Amino acid sequence: MASDSDRVGALKAFDDTKAGVKGLVDAGATTVPSIFHHPLPHLHHLHAHHEHHFTIPVIDLAAAMGGSGTTTTPTSERAELVAAVKAAAETVGFFQVANHGVPKAAMSEMLAAVKGFHEESAGAKAPYYSRDFSRRVRYWSNLDLFQSPAACWRDTLFFETAPELPAPEEIPPSCRTIAPEYARMMQQLGRTLLELLSEALGLRRGHLEEDAACLERLAGHYYPPCPEPHLTLGTTRHSDPCFLAVLLQDAVGGLQVLLHEDEGHDGNNNKSSGVWVDVPAVEGAVVVNVGDFLQLVSNDRFKSVEHRVVSQPQSVGPRVSVACFFRRHDAATSTRVLAPIVADGEARYRSTTMAELIRHNRAKGLDGSSALQHLRL
């Protein structure tokens, strides 16, 4: 077994290549290096369980896309839409939305731009490779490379999109035109979703927008095909430190959510065992999931569900996705308090600041545990 110093050395050597996991694949790797080997419990049940009653809802947003705050949707249609969003957020925590106002052409172009960047030569990508959080556009392999128990088989092109979009010269040429346009479209979609979720909590339509309507960051993930997919994961089990995430995925597959027959908790404040369920690609739709901030604020009414991406064999090819995360642009330093809204009963979490929750999440990395457990009362 490799020593801790050997592991740190291997991580540093990998990071210093600035070529990411794609660099390993391009070099003809036929095995997965040990730094990517995940503990066996994390790898159990890599194939989704299909004997369950869960489905990932697909919600038609056409009736809500008349413009923020100006919709002419009849009251009954709006109520039906809010009810559908409420049911999805309360039971599954994941849903897909169709007729959301983002043209299919823009979605295809964004996926192609991210794929194009990651498939450029290592030399062309290297200038963007950085772990410097002051850089508003950066490329890396594994945000938590040096904190997590095992690295994931994934590279990411990351954009800070708030309080304003990056300057054109900061953006790689392959993404320079479409990324800002796509971010603006996602900002509008995020506002619509937050209005619906506010109403689903019985709040005024603009309530969540005050804290969460900012599209803070955009991540273009690339999951290269893997020579030994049974040894590693594309993304390990985690939930998202935000109010809301919106994901554009290609048709390759691999995204799974952990859903529970019993949404209760055991005596150790851990969720009961669940089943992994595939999130299928639906043409023209994007995936929406509740984040940790919203589960806390909703006092557990809405579920921030854990999810992962399983690695794909070389016969399948790369997976590409674009994730958009909604929270305040200064969340990492914000002293704004997050407190549960208690409709009835008692608060299930202690209040915290956005900054505290983000610090805790970064410190623990993607270790398969919920960032909310240390706040549970």
The predicted-structure confidence for 285-316, as pLDDT tens digits, reads as follows: 999 999 999 999 999 999 999 999 999 999 99
Q: Is residue 193 part of a domain?
A: yes
Average pLDDT, the chain: 89
* 124 found inside a domain: yes
**Residue 356 tokens, joined:** 């505290």
Question: Torsions phi, psi of 261, nearest 5?
Answer: -60, -40
Alpha-helical regions (H) of 178-299: 178-200, 209-212, 292-297
122 forms bridges with which residues in the sheet? none
CATH of the domain at 167: 2.60.120.330
DSSP category for residue 54:
-
Does any domain span residue 118? yes
Label residue 50 by pLDDT band (50, 70, 90).
low
For residue 215, the surrounding DSSP H or E stretch is: strand 215-223
Interval 97-152: pLDDT, tens: 999 999 999 999 999 999 999 999 999 999 999 999 899 999 999 999 998 889 99
- 312 lies in which domain range? 8-375
pLDDT tops 50 at residue 238: yes
Residue 2: inside a domain: no
Instruction: Yes or no: say if 227 and 30 are a contact pair by the CB < 8 Å rule.
Output: yes
pTM given for the model:
0.91
How far is the C-alpha of 44 from the C-alpha of 230, rounded, in Å? 9
* CB-based contact 301:215 (threshold 8 Å): no
In a domain? residue 242: yes
Least confident segment among 130-139, 264-273, 331-340, 360-369: 264-273
In a domain, 3, yes or no: no
Query: Is 251 part of any domain?
Result: yes
Residue 306 has a pLDDT of: 92
Tell me how many domains the chain contains.
Answer: 1
Gap between the Cα atoms of 111 and 158, Å rounded: 14
Task: Let me know: does 249 contact 114? Beta carbons within 8 Å.
Answer: no
CB burial of 27-43 (b: ≥16 within 10 Å; e: otherwise) equals eeeeebbebbbbeeebb
CB 237 within 8 A of CB 42: yes
Q: Is residue 170 part of a domain?
A: yes
Structure confidence at residue 211 (pLDDT): 75
How far apart are the C-alpha atoms of 255 and 233, rounded to whole Å? 11
Residue 253 pLDDT > 60: yes
For residue 151, list its beta bridge partners.
Answer: none
